């Protein structure tokens, strides 16, 4: 199944924090992301958005894990991670403050992007949970697959990491490395594994002359047999077959006899001139 670890550098990444004690402060490009609260009960919250455009729409998320590297720890409590909702679309790293989402417009629900159901989701992606980080050791947050799926399907506006409770007189805080970390390996990471939509045969190529009957993904890596889902290939039997003349004119050559075809749901794919032969070979590979 496809998987990817995202770890963008500053410029490609969108991550920052907001500070209730400095409501007009913007911390874009700083080397740290802060989560927690100070002795007066003022919050630090981290905001981030990930470019997930490499995951095809309609994919099913299997695993989503966020990794943050701490370098200072004051033991925050009850950390939670929640999706940022559509009312705050257009928030920016360079403009996000406690009071505003882009330097001008206020957060939809109120200061701090805190209002459940308006600013952030009612359902958590992770937590709330007491959390004690260890500097130099990755904090690993296994995100809710269901909530991550909603983020992918219904609009990716990023997510907020904050503390759900505050206790006056105490400092409870973790400082994490941001995408501007001095050591690139310490930048935040997001690991995602997914299943692509059924019928997306356009992602693969199959060489009919290959004695090993290998299937190669669009990015060039070989796809192991156990990662080929039968329902992906079942659509072979539902093609609207082009004419033999079309087959002849679009054949790629003696080594890769593929042509453009169309599935019943409109997907463009590549199939062999002998459709039954190709289907039989795929089914053989799936069941062997």
176 and 206 part of one domain:
no
Q: Give the structural domain span for 113.
A: 3-195
Residue 243 pLDDT exceeds 50: no
CA distance linking residue 269 with residue 276, whole number of Å: 15
How many domains is the chain built from? 2
CA distance linking residue 18 with residue 35, whole number of Å: 9
Q: Residue 133: what pLDDT?
A: 81
Tens-place pLDDT, residues 194-234:
987 654 333 445 554 455 656 665 556 666 555 544 333 33
226 and 275 part of one domain:
yes
186 and 88 part of one domain:
yes
Tokens of residue 31, six digits: 């080397």
Mean pLDDT lowest among 18-32, 112-126, 165-179, 269-283: 269-283
Element (H, E) at 279: helix 275-287
Tens-place pLDDT, residues 128-156:
887 778 889 999 999 999 999 999 998 99
70 and 169 part of one domain:
yes
SS3 category, 135: coil
167 and 119 part of one domain:
yes
Beta-bridge partners for 37: 43, 172
* pLDDT category of residue 246 using cuts at 50, 70 and 90: very low
- What is this structure's pTM? 0.69
Nearest residue to 98 (alpha-carbon basis) of 46, 150, 164, 41: 46
Query: Among 195, 214, 234, where does a domain finish?
Result: 195
Query: Among 195, 228, 250, where does a domain finish?
Result: 195
Tens-place pLDDT, residues 46-94:
999 999 999 987 888 999 999 999 988 777 678 899 999 999 999 999 9
148 and 234 part of one domain:
no
251 and 159 part of one domain:
no
Query: Among 156, 180, 195, where does a domain finish?
Result: 195
Tokens of residue 29, six digits: 């490009």
Tokens of residue 132, six digits: 């004690």
Q: Residue 2: what pLDDT?
A: 83
Q: Residue 110: what pLDDT?
A: 95
Q: Residue 198: what pLDDT?
A: 52
- Give the end-to-end CA distance of the chain in Å, rounded to a whole number: 18
Quote the Cα angle for 43-45-50, to 5°.
Answer: 175
144 and 205 part of one domain:
no
173 and 217 part of one domain:
no
* pLDDT category of residue 285 using cuts at 50, 70 and 90: very low
189 and 205 part of one domain:
no
Residue 257 pLDDT exceeds 60: no
Q: Residue 171: what pLDDT?
A: 84
165 and 112 part of one domain:
yes
Contacts with 246 (C-beta within 8 Å, 6 or more apart), sequence order: 259
Strands (E), the chain: 3-6, 14-19, 32-37, 43-49, 60-68, 70-73, 79-84, 120-129, 139-142, 159-163, 172-177, 189-195, 204-206, 215-217, 259-262, 268-271
17 and 142 part of one domain:
yes
Q: What is the DSSP string of 204-221?
A: EEE-TT-TT--EEETTSP
């Amino acid at each position: 199944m496809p998987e990817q670890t995202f770890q963008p550098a500053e410029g490609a990444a969108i991550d920052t924090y907001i500070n209730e004690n400095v409501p007009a402060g913007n911390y874009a490009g700083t080397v740290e992301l802060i989560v927690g609260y100070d002795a007066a009960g003022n919050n630090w919250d981290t905001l981030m958005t990930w470019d997930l455009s490499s995951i095809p729409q309609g994919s099913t998320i299997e695993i989503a894990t966020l990794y943050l590297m701490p370098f200072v720890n004051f033991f925050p409590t009850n950390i939670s991670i929640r999706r940022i909702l559509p009312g705050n679309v257009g928030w920016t790293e360079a403009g996000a403050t406690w009071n505003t989402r882009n330097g001008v417009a206020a957060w939809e629900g109120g200061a701090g992007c805190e209002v459940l159901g308006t600013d952030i989701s009612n359902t958590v992606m992770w937590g709330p949970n007491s959390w004690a980080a260890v500097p130099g050791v990755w904090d690993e947050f296994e995100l809710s697959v269901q909530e991550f799926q909603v983020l992918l399907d219904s609009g990716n506006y990023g997510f907020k990491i904050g503390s759900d409770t505050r206790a006056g007189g105490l400092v409870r805080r973790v400082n994490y490395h941001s995408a501007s970390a001095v050591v690139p390996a310490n930048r935040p990471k997001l690991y995602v594994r997914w299943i692509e939509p059924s019928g997306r045969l356009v992602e693969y190529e199959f060489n009919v002359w290959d004695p090993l009957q290998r299937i190669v993904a669009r990015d060039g890596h070989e796809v192991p047999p156990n990662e080929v889902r039968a329902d992906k290939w079942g659509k072979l039997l539902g093609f609207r077959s082009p004419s033999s003349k079309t087959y002849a004119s679009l054949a790629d050559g003696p080594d890769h006899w593929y042509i453009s075809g169309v599935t019943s749901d409109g997907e463009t794919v590549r199939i062999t001139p002998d459709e039954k032969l190709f289907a039989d070979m795929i089914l053989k590979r799936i069941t062997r």
